[in-house]
A and B are shown apart, each in its own frame.
Chain A
Amino acid sequence: MISRRDLLKEASFAAAAVGMVHPVLNWAADQDGVSALPGKEGMIVRSFRFLDLEMPTEFMNSWITPVPHFFVRNHMFEPSTLNAAEWRLSVGGEVEKPLTLSLADLQKIEAHSVTNTLECAGNGRAFLNPNVPGVQWQRGAVGNARFSGPRLRDLLERAVVKTTGKHVLFHGLDDVPGKVPPFIRSIPIEKAIDGDTVVATQMNGTPLTKHHGFPARALVPGWIGAASCKWLSEVKVLDKEFEGNFMKPGYRMPNRTIEPGGSINPEETHPITVLNVKSVIASPNDGTTLKHSPVPIHGVAWAGEADVAKVEVSTDSGATWNPAQLGSEDAHYAWRLWSYSWKPAKAGDYVIMARATDSQGRSQPQTAAWNPSGYLYNVIDQVKIRVQA
């Protein structure tokens, strides 16, 4: 019979052996991309480099999206070195008094909070036919968070914008690989001085994490995510719209309808700004088989600068529509939770659809406005489920 001492001794040998295999197991996990990323949990990995993480629809069950579940869209490498004490934000260009602000300076300026649904312009790109190049986002390149920081307007007032100032450029500290153009975009001065456009230093009440733009990012509410430049280092007032790669030919929509698979001259396009009305079914999941009992259907809906007026649900492939109940939590730029309780009459296969309408009467289309980069996909969402007898 083995003694306790021998058992301990042998256990230590065993531990050493397990220790040998552990790195191999870790290697396998890392190569599969299913291991870990500090600060993020349960995300769909579209790419580790550059980091692009999508939120599974199962997390679209809370009005405020926790930071660990908030999508990440990086065009390039995250800044390799970021020291909060040394970081500075310059405000210059068409201004009378250029500024250089530290994080402490920003924190002395009155903070404003905006609960905003941030969505990548390419969310839903994967559903386009034919496919288009880019990160193949499905439903979850979107999240709703409370962003806080000084109003951009307050910074621009201190710098005193000249009458020649028409656009405001944001430059981030992304580490640029090769000859890739730097990530620089601009917004019109009218949006820049809107009281809800902020230089955010906080997200959901805590300092921004690196994945989300620490120490400060622009937050342009109701607009595509690309407008809200992360790791902000420069605000520059321009006398015209910036024309770098991420403004032109990047992030533009055709001025006219084009056939799926077609192409268009950049001169016949315009920059994307505002998000459109959209809803996503969070549950049930596509392809689910359920027991024959009441089926709770729920999801989220948002509408850019407009409000969500209503969400309707169809359980018969779009033949008939029923109003969903909107959640009580509401803010101008924030998504609304919605729910609908459905009692299937009989077992069978069903197509469930959700359709949102905004406060200006715009509703989601049945077919996509196909465009070569796959922007602003907002086709009526649908899931196919089976109800068992």
Chain B
Amino acid sequence: MSKRSGFVEIVIALVGLTVPWLWGQPPPPSDLPLGDMQGKARTACLECHDGRIILQQRLSKATWTKEVDKMTKWGAVVDPADRDALIEYLSVNFPAGKAPEPAARVLGQKKR
């Protein structure tokens, strides 16, 4: 029988409870939403951009089309065969009129 008071076991139990809770949380808000084009949208957009810049857009399909074509011209990796599906994915997930995405804050300086 262990002589421990149970203190360590309590901490380990807390860790055990906390880690799954964290991993069980919804996807990070800066990631792009699920969908057939999620992976290709990540490749096209997140090579340069933080996902937040995508998540905060609320655009018509016509405007998304202009944006995708501009970004492709500037180096975004978009297979021509995927262009229309990528525009559709962005238009459906970030349409005009959808409620704005809440913005996160930097709380302070990280201790190093």
Chain A residues within 8 Å of B, Cβ to Cβ: 2, 6-7, 10-11, 13-14, 17-18, 20-21, 24-25, 27-28, 31-50, 52-54, 56, 126, 130-133, 135-136, 177-181, 261
CB < 8 Å neighbour of B15 from A18, A44, A47? A18
**B14 → A minimal CB distance (Å):** 8
Provide the residues of chain A in CB contact with B60, threshold 8 Å.
Answer: 130, 261
**A375 → B minimal CB distance (Å):** 16
B8 interfacial contact with A, CB 8 Å: yes
**Beta-carbon contact of A33 and B30 below 8 Å:** yes
B104 interfacial contact with A, CB 8 Å: yes
**B36 → A minimal CB distance (Å):** 23
**B56 → A minimal CB distance (Å):** 4
12 of the cross-chain contacts (CB-CB < 8 Å) are A24-B18, A24-B22, A32-B29, A36-B107, A36-B109, A42-B107, A47-B50, A50-B49, A52-B53, A56-B105, A133-B59, A136-B57
Provide the residues of chain A in CB contact with B109, threshold 8 Å.
Answer: 36-39, 41
**Beta-carbon contact of B75 and A178 below 8 Å:** yes
CB < 8 Å neighbour of B8 from A13, A56, A132? A13
**Beta-carbon contact of A10 and B8 below 8 Å:** yes
Chain B residues within 8 Å of A, Cβ to Cβ: 3-5, 7-8, 11-12, 15, 18-19, 22, 25, 28-30, 47-50, 52-53, 56-60, 63, 66-67, 73-76, 96, 100, 103-110
**A366 → B minimal CB distance (Å):** 22
Provide the residues of chain B in CB contact with A10, threshold 8 Å.
Answer: 4-5, 7-8
Provide the residues of chain B in CB contact with A17, threshold 8 Å.
Answer: 8, 11-12, 15
**A300 → B minimal CB distance (Å):** 20
**Beta-carbon contact of A44 and B56 below 8 Å:** no
**Beta-carbon contact of A7 and B76 below 8 Å:** no
| Bound-complex Cα distance A164 to B103 (A) | 48
**Beta-carbon contact of B106 and A34 below 8 Å:** yes
**Beta-carbon contact of B56 and A46 below 8 Å:** yes
